[in-house]
Structure 1
Amino acid sequence: MNKTAQIKKNHQFIKFRKLVIVSILIGFLSAFLGISLKKITEYYEEIFFHEVSVHPIYYIIFPVFGLSVIYFLRQYLFKKKENKGIKEVFESTASKSKNLPSYKIPSHFINGLLTVIFGGSTGIEVSTVVATATIGSVAHEKENVFRQYKTELICAGVAAGVTALFSSPIAGVLFAFEVISRKVTRAFIISNLIAVSIAFGLLTILKEEPLFAVSITTWHLKAIPYFILLGILAGMNSVYLTRCVLFFKSQFGKIDTHYYKIILGSAVLSLSLFFFPQLYGEGYHAIKGIFGNAAQLLTITLALTFIGILILKPIVTSITLASGGDGGVFAPSLFIGAFLGLLLASILNSFFHVNVIPVNFMIIGMAAVLSASIHAPFTAIFLVCGLTNDYTLFFPILAVCLISKYTAKMIYPYTVYSYSPSLVK
């Protein structure tokens, strides 16, 4: 081997070693951030939700207080910049010169936390994704050798963050690929696999339990036609969610005085939460509640409650985001899917005596609505299986996620991530 070849080989080895080291750091920091945000949010959301259930006056106080604090933090601490969600990540990966500034880490962490614990009807997932993507973006700027790996390092942060939230390394890597990168390179594989391995290792050390402790025993072939129906309904519901988010953001964008947005958003949020407490925050408390009562008979009151929740959830989520809250459509999609699946199963069992398994429909519905909302079926499959730590329903979830995605795309080709006003002009 001549001297030039040896130098080149040594240089490649140094690059590889540095990529491994920075991927380990990104994986640890992103996972630590994701786990911390999840734990803090769960802790305070439970306390605040208990308070509003005991003292309903807080339904009025919490939303306006939370949105006001977020507004003042943005004005005086976070450079007067609005958070654009995952679109910020897309803008960064699409541009060589545009990076995610480091203040995005505390900005999304704090604002996502405040939005949810004070009743904002969204989740911390998008806040986590942008904050962890920023960790990758900041790392790529630190050394010239990382300049060519910008997208890969951003994706490593995102993958580790998603792994931390949903206890699924496969979902983390697939989300980074399906939604952010859309391409696979050797550096992508190395950095993302290392990052999610570190994240999953941290979860294991901390003995993190699955978010939903449910018992899934089997599924029956006779349920396939009803799974198909669920997939179609999930696709339609996801389009309703997407259109609501885009519509209300557009309408609220026409209001010049930001505090008018806060007052209007808080009023709608407070009224909705008063009549439907299930809409408070991420809504995971409500999903756990209906998992425990999935086998109950459907009454007219219960059916109307479910329908009201399915109609209101996209509206309340959209207004939370449009009036200044920080979040996205991850948690709302899971929430809508669970209630949609249970409503369909209950109708089939109560009126058609089909005897389907309600819990199965809830799990499949969660994955189906998420798949259709973000156009990422494989992410949705592994993410929901990770949430329950059970792969019994893998094949029906796969089929229904594909049906829901393509149903949604046929009705409306955009997601809240991919839509841009310039696309429809």
Structure 2
Amino acid sequence: MTKTAQLRKNHKWIVLQKLTVASLLIGFLCAFMAVSLKRLTEHYEEILFHKASVNWIFFLIFPIFGLSIIYFLRQYLFKKKENKGIKEIFETTANTNKKLPVYKVPSHFFNGLLTVVFGGSTGIEVSTVVASAAIGSVAQQKENMFRRYKTELICAGIAAGITALFSSPIAGILFALEVISKKITKTFAFTTIVAVAIAYGFILVLDEKPLFAVTVSTWHLHAFPYFILLGILAGANSVYLTKSVLYIKNRFAQIDKQSYRILIGSVIISVSLLVLPQLYGEGYHAVKTLFNTSGSIALTTSFVLTILGILVLKPIITSITLASGGDGGVFAPSMFLGAFLGLFLAIILNTFFDSNVIPLNFMIIGMAAMLSASIHAPFTALFLICGLINDYTLFFPILVVSLVSKTTAKFIYPYTVYTYQPKSVK
């Protein structure tokens, strides 16, 4: 072996060692951050939602208080920079000179937490993703030899964060691949797998429980055409969600003063929460309740009005939350809407067509279908939802319906809230 070849071999070994250490640290830090954010959000959201349920005046106070605190944090602590969500990651990976600064970790952590616990109708998933990406980006900036591996280390952080949040390592890897990287390299595979392994080990040590404790017994082949119908409806509904976010954000951007945005947004959110408390926060409390009662729900007028109100208002309130300065994305709203859409379709089929379908199955499949259509990532949605319930009984119907919903959504409207780029005015 020549001296030059030996030097190259030694250099590759050094790079591999440093990448391993960086991936281990990224995996642990992202998992710790994601679990901390999840537990804090669940704890305080439950407390504050209970307070508001007992005394309705808090439905009026909490949204304006939360959005105002986020505004002051941004102004005086986070360099007056607005959080752009996953678009920040796309901009960073597309530009070699752009980076995610370290303050993005506490910015998304606290802003995501405050948004949800004070009633903002979104979730902490995107906050977790961007904060995790920032951890990966900061790690990449620490070593000159990591300059060419920026996307890989960012994706390692994202995969670890998703793994810890949803207890699904495959979903973490697939999200980083389907949504962010869109290509796989040896370095991507190595760094992501190492980070995810550490993150998954961390949540196993903590004995993290699945978000939804449900038991899926079986599914019936005769329900398959109805599953396809659910996929088509979810695809169309996801476009409504996407267009709502894009339109309302654009309208709010035309309001000059942030104080007016907060005031207008919080008033609309508060009134909506008074009418439909299920819209509070990420809405998982309402989904959990429906999981437990889905088999005994009858098609009454109040049920129909409630479901229709949720399907119409949730995208609007989510959009207003984000446009008013709240931190979050469409992960939780998509799954929330999918659960209600699936339940509504199942009840209609059983009531009018004597279809004898299982409402619980439709709720779970609906969650995956809406998520797949909203972010154009069917395989991420498949493993993420199976990880959330810790059950793979519905694996095949979820896979098929997720593909159907994504195809439907792309046929109607080719963009997601993350990939849409406004046309520049010439």
Write the distance in 2 (CA, Å) between the matches of 1:135 and 1:262.
30
Is 1:290 aligned to 2:295, yes or no? no
One-letter amino acid matched to 2:333: P
Which residue does the alignment assign to 1:400?
A: 401
C-alpha displacement of 1:422: 2.0
Matches within 5 A, 1:21-420: 21-295=21-295, 296-420=297-421
One-letter amino acid matched to 2:366: G
One-letter amino acid matched to 2:175: F
C-alpha displacement of 1:145: 1.2
Write the distance in 2 (CA, Å) between the matches of 1:71 and 1:424.
29
Q: Secondary structure at the match of 1:294?
A: helix
Runs of 4+ in 1 over 3 A off after TM superposition: none
C-alpha displacement of 1:424: 10
CA 1:128–1:358 in 2, change beyond 3 Å: closer, same or farther?
same
Matches within 5 A, 1:3-14: 3-14=3-14
| Alignment size in residue pairs | 425
Write the distance in 1 (CA, Å) between the matches of 2:138 and 2:95.
15
C-alpha displacement of 1:423: 7.8
Write the distance in 2 (CA, Å) between the matches of 1:298 and 1:22.
54
One-letter amino acid matched to 2:257: T
Which residue does the alignment assign to 2:20?
A: 20
Q: Secondary structure at the match of 1:208?
A: coil
Q: Secondary structure at the match of 2:70?
A: helix
Write the distance in 2 (CA, Å) between the matches of 1:237 and 1:383.
20
Write the distance in 1 (CA, Å) between the matches of 2:3 and 2:93.
37
Write the distance in 2 (CA, Å) between the matches of 1:372 and 1:294.
24
Write the distance in 1 (CA, Å) between the matches of 2:31 and 2:291.
28
Write the distance in 2 (CA, Å) between the matches of 1:142 and 1:77.
23
One-letter amino acid matched to 1:278: Q
Write the distance in 2 (CA, Å) between the matches of 1:16 and 1:131.
25
TM-score (norm. length: structure 2): 0.99
One-letter amino acid matched to 1:69: I
Q: Secondary structure at the match of 2:256?
A: coil
Q: Secondary structure at the match of 2:423?
A: helix
One-letter amino acid matched to 2:182: R
Write the distance in 2 (CA, Å) between the matches of 1:304 and 1:20.
54
Q: Give CA-to-partner distance per residue, 1:87-131, whole Å, 9 cap, x none.
A: 000000000000001110000000000000000000000001000
Q: Give CA-to-partner distance per residue, 1:234-273, whole Å, 9 cap, x none.
A: 0011000000000000000000011110010001100000
Q: Give CA-to-partner distance per residue, 1:300-354, whole Å, 9 cap, x none.
A: 2111111111110000000000000000000000000000000000111111111
- Gap regions ≥5 residues in structure 1: none
Write the distance in 1 (CA, Å) between the matches of 2:103 and 2:17.
28
One-letter amino acid matched to 1:398: L
Write the distance in 2 (CA, Å) between the matches of 1:321 and 1:244.
11
Write the distance in 2 (CA, Å) between the matches of 1:424 and 1:307.
38
Write the distance in 1 (CA, Å) between the matches of 2:77 and 2:133.
20
- Gap regions ≥5 residues in structure 2: none
Q: Give CA-to-partner distance per residue, 1:366-406, whole Å, 9 cap, x none.
A: 00000000000000000000000111101100110010001
Write the distance in 1 (CA, Å) between the matches of 2:361 and 2:343.
9
Write the distance in 1 (CA, Å) between the matches of 2:425 and 2:120.
30
Write the distance in 2 (CA, Å) between the matches of 1:176 and 1:289.
31
Q: Which moved more, 1:40-49 or 1:293-302?
A: 293-302
Write the distance in 2 (CA, Å) between the matches of 1:152 and 1:76.
32
CA 1:324–1:164 in 2, change beyond 3 Å: closer, same or farther?
same
Q: Secondary structure at the match of 2:20?
A: helix
One-letter amino acid matched to 1:303: V
CA 1:399–1:302 in 2, change beyond 3 Å: closer, same or farther?
same
TM-score (norm. length: structure 1): 0.99
One-letter amino acid matched to 2:319: S
Write the distance in 1 (CA, Å) between the matches of 2:269 and 2:313.
10
Write the distance in 2 (CA, Å) between the matches of 1:160 and 1:36.
14
Q: Secondary structure at the match of 2:223?
A: helix
C-alpha displacement of 1:10: 1.1
Write the distance in 2 (CA, Å) between the matches of 1:290 and 1:184.
39
Write the distance in 1 (CA, Å) between the matches of 2:4 and 2:257.
64
Write the distance in 2 (CA, Å) between the matches of 1:424 and 1:309.
36
One-letter amino acid matched to 1:414: Y
Q: Give CA-to-partner distance per residue, 1:142-172, whole Å, 9 cap, x none.
A: 0111111000000000000000110000000
Write the distance in 2 (CA, Å) between the matches of 1:200 and 1:167.
7
Write the distance in 1 (CA, Å) between the matches of 2:424 and 2:294.
42
Which residue does the alignment assign to 1:421?
A: 422
